[in-house]
Structure 1
Amino acid sequence: MLYSFLLFAICFFAARADFEEAQVILDLSTANSTQSAPHWVVYADQYQSGVTGPPAASTIEGYNVFILSFLLTEGAWDKAYEWTTLTADERTAIKSDYAAAGIKLLVSVFGSTDVPTTSGADPNATATTMAAWVIEYGLDGIDVDYEVGIRGTAEEWLISFTTALRASLPKDKYIVTHAPVAPWFTPNSYVGGGYTKINKEVGDLIDWYNIQGSTEYTDCDGLLAASSKTWPETAMFEIANNGVDLSKLVIGKPATASDATNGHMNASMLATCLETAKKSGWAGGAMAWQYPNADASWISTVRSLSWPV
C-alpha cells in the first residue's frame, strides 16, 4: 500500500512538473502578445556560427520583432529548426530575455522554397498544424511568407489559411502577419484579386504586412508616393489609398545588396524615407531581411531620423 502511494506521488509530481514547465512556455508566448506600431522587424534564416536559434536580445537593440525562418509544410528548417533543438528550459530563458527587452519572437512559414498551393496542401489542415507548432514551441505568433505567386487560386487558399490560423491563434494572444511582395497589391492585375482581395476578406485577422520591397522602390518617391508603370499603385501610400490600413504597412528592405537580387537601399537613404513618411502620418515601422547583416547598427541608422533608438 505504501509502495503504491509513493509511486502515485512520484508520478503525480512528475506530471505536475511537466505541466508547469509547459505552462511557463505557454504563458510567455501568450501574455500580452499583441503589439502596437511602429514594428521594427528582422528575419533570420542564415546559419550563424556559435548561435543556435535567436541571438541574445542585447545584440538586436532597436528591433521589437525577431522572426525565425522557416517552418515549411514538411517541418521546421534553418533557424526554426534550431529553435526545436533547444531544451524547454533554454527556450524559456530566451523568451524571458526577449520579453524583458520588449521583443516578440515569431516564426515565418513557407518562404521561397515551399509551394503549398501547387503541392496540394490543404489550407485548413496546414494552418492547424503550423499553429500547433507555434503553441508547442512557445512563440508569439506566425508570419506568412507565401512566395509561390498569385495566379488566381492562391488568394482563396491564403484566405482560408489565415482564417484557420486565427481560429487556433486568437488575436488577443498571438500575432499573425503576412509578408507579400509589394507588386501583389497592384489593383486589377490579378484574376483572383491579389492581396487587395486578401486584405478585404481577412485583413482584420492580420496584424500587419511586412511588405517586401525587393522588386524595385529604390528611392523615396518610388517607395512611398508613386511606383513605376511596371507595378502601378504599389508604393506605400498608393497601397493605403487602395484600402489597406496605413498603420499596417511595414516597409521591408534587404539589409545589403547581397541579401536580395534587387531593391536594396542603403540604411541612410531608408532613414530619410521613414522621416518623410512619418511627417505624412505613417507609423508602420521597418522590416529587414536579414540578420546578422541587419544588425543593431543597421536598424539604429534606419530609425535615426524618425524614431531614434
Structure 2
Amino acid sequence: MSDDIPSPPHWFSYSDQWMSAPPDASTIPCINVFALCFLLTKGAWDNAQQWTTFTDAQRQQIKTAYNNAGIKLIVSAFGDTDIPTTNKVDPVKCAQTFADWVKQYDLDGIDVDYEDLGAFQNGTAEKWLIDFTTELRNNLPKGQYIVTHAPLAPWFMDNKTAYPGGGYLYIDQQIGDMIDWYNVQFYNQGDDVYQDCNNLLFESTPLKFPKTSVFEINAAGVPLSKIVIGKPATKQDATTGYMDPTVLAGCLETAKGKGWDAGVMTWQYPRGDSAWFKTVRAQSWPCECEEEPEE
C-alpha cells in the first residue's frame, strides 16, 4: 500500500521485458513510478507474474528500498492484448480480483492500460471503464493507492461519430476524481502526429485527431496536472510518435513555462531508464542524482 500519492511531476516507466526482479532502486533515481506489466483478465503475465514468484520477504525488501528512494511500485493492467469489454468480462468482478491482487502482492497501486479499441468504437468502453474504476476505488481507496489510466491521446477527441460513448472526456467528467492521473499515449497514432512540440502541446493534427494535444485536452476540462506525456523510449518501442529525448526536453521546458507539471511516461524500461529520464528532464526538472550501475 502507498503511504501517500506522489505529487506531480510523475516520471513513470513501464517494464514488460522479462527480468528476474525490478531494477535496484539505486539505479533509477530519475524515475518515481515503476510499473510491472501486465495483470491480465487471465492472470499475471511477464513482470507482473515474476513478482508473484518472490517470497514475501523478498518483495518487502524491494518495496522498502523503493519506498526509501521515493519510488512507487505498481502493476499495469490489460495492455494491447487484453480486450475485456469485447470479451464480456464483468467489470465489477474484474476490479475486485485486480484490487485483491494489488493488496496480496503489496504494491502501491494499479495503472489501467485499457486498449480495447473496438469497445471505444462501438460505445461500450466508457460504461465498462466507469464501473471498473469505481469498483477499483471501492477496494483501493484514493489517497492510499495509486490508480492511473493510460488512454490513447485520440480518445480525448470530442467526436461522437468516432466514439459514440463520449470517449475519455466523458470518462473524466464522470469519474475523473477517482483517477490520480492519465499516462496519455502520444504515440502509435500514425506519421506526423504528436511528433513535434507544437503538435504535442498546442495543436494536434486538425484533420486526424483534432484538439488532442496537451493544452487542448486541458481546455476540454481535464486538469493540466493530470495530463502526463507518454512517449516511446526509442524508435523500436513504438511504430510512430518517437521524439529524440533532447527535443522532448525542450517541449517540457516550454510546457512548464505555461503551467504544466504533470510529468512523463515512457514505454519501456530498460531503454526508458534513468539516463533517458535525466535527458528528458534536463531543461525543466533536472535530475541531479547519479544512478549506480547494476551489478
Provide, for residues 111-162 of structure 1, a one-character-per-residue CA deviation record: whole Å limited to 9, x for no partner: 0001101111000000000000000000000000001111200000000000
Aligned equivalent of 1:174: 145
Tell me, yes or no, if the aligned pair for 2:2 and 2:72 is still in contact at 8 Å. no
Match of 2:6 among 35, 55, 63: 35
Partner SS, residue 240 of structure 1: helix
Q: Distance in 1 between matches of 2:164 and 2:133?
A: 20
Number of paired residues? Answer: 277
Q: How big is the shift at 1:283?
A: 0.3
Q: Distance in 2 between matches of 1:200 and 1:174?
A: 21
Tell me, yes or no, if the aligned pair for 1:53 and 1:80 is still in contact at 8 Å. no
Aligned equivalent of 2:273: 295
Provide, for residues 220-243 of structure 1, a one-character-per-residue CA deviation record: whole Å limited to 9, x for no partner: 000000000200000000000001
Q: How big is the shift at 1:69?
A: 0.3
Tell me, yes or no, if the aligned pair for 2:184 and 2:230 is still in contact at 8 Å. yes
TM-score, normalization: structure 1? 0.89
Is 2:251 the counterpart of 1:265? no
Aligned equivalent of 2:18: 47
CA RMSD of aligned residues (A): 0.7
Is 2:218 the counterpart of 1:236? no
The one-letter code matched in structure 2 to 1:283 is: D
Matches within 5 A, 1:175-194: 175-188=146-159, 189-194=162-167
Match of 2:170 among 171, 194, 197: 197
Aligned equivalent of 1:16: none
Match of 2:196 among 193, 205, 219: 219
Q: Distance in 1 between matches of 2:171 and 2:21?
A: 32
Tell me, yes or no, if the aligned pair for 1:236 and 1:249 is still in contact at 8 Å. yes
Tell me, yes or no, if the aligned pair for 1:53 and 1:68 is still in contact at 8 Å. no
The one-letter code matched in structure 1 to 2:114 is: Y
Q: Distance in 2 between matches of 1:244 and 1:258?
A: 30
Which has more helix, going by share of residues? 1
Partner SS, residue 42 of structure 1: strand
Q: Distance in 1 between matches of 2:254 and 2:92?
A: 41
Q: How big is the shift at 1:35?
A: 1.2
Q: Distance in 1 between matches of 2:91 and 2:37?
A: 20
Q: How big is the shift at 1:30?
A: 3.6
The one-letter code matched in structure 2 to 1:118 is: T
Aligned equivalent of 1:160: 131
The one-letter code matched in structure 2 to 1:117 is: T
Higher relative contact order (CA 8 A, sep 6+): 2
Tell me, yes or no, if the aligned pair for 1:255 and 1:290 is still in contact at 8 Å. yes
Partner SS, residue 191 of structure 1: coil
Is 2:57 the counterpart of 1:84? no
The one-letter code matched in structure 1 to 2:46 is: D
Provide, for residues 166-221 of structure 1, a one-character-per-residue CA deviation record: whole Å limited to 9, x for no partner: 00000021000000010000112410000000000000000000000112201000
The one-letter code matched in structure 1 to 2:137 is: R
Aligned equivalent of 1:208: 181
Structure with larger Rg: 1
Tell me, yes or no, if the aligned pair for 1:44 and 1:79 is still in contact at 8 Å. yes
Q: Distance in 1 between matches of 2:274 and 2:186?
A: 20
Partner SS, residue 76 of structure 2: strand
The one-letter code matched in structure 1 to 2:10 is: H
Partner SS, residue 47 of structure 2: helix
Tell me, yes or no, if the aligned pair for 2:184 and 2:228 is still in contact at 8 Å. yes
After superposing on structure 2, the runs of 4+ consecutive aligned residues of structure 1 that deviate more than 4 Å are none
The one-letter code matched in structure 1 to 2:247 is: M
Provide, for residues 23-82 of structure 1, a one-character-per-residue CA deviation record: whole Å limited to 9, x for no partner: xxxxxx2422x111000000000124xxx2311011111010000000000000001001
Structure 2 unaligned runs (5+)?
288-295
Aligned equivalent of 1:15: none
Aligned equivalent of 2:71: 103
Structure 1 unaligned runs (5+)?
1-28
Match of 1:126 among 94, 100, 106: 94
Q: Distance in 2 between matches of 1:53 and 1:203?
A: 33
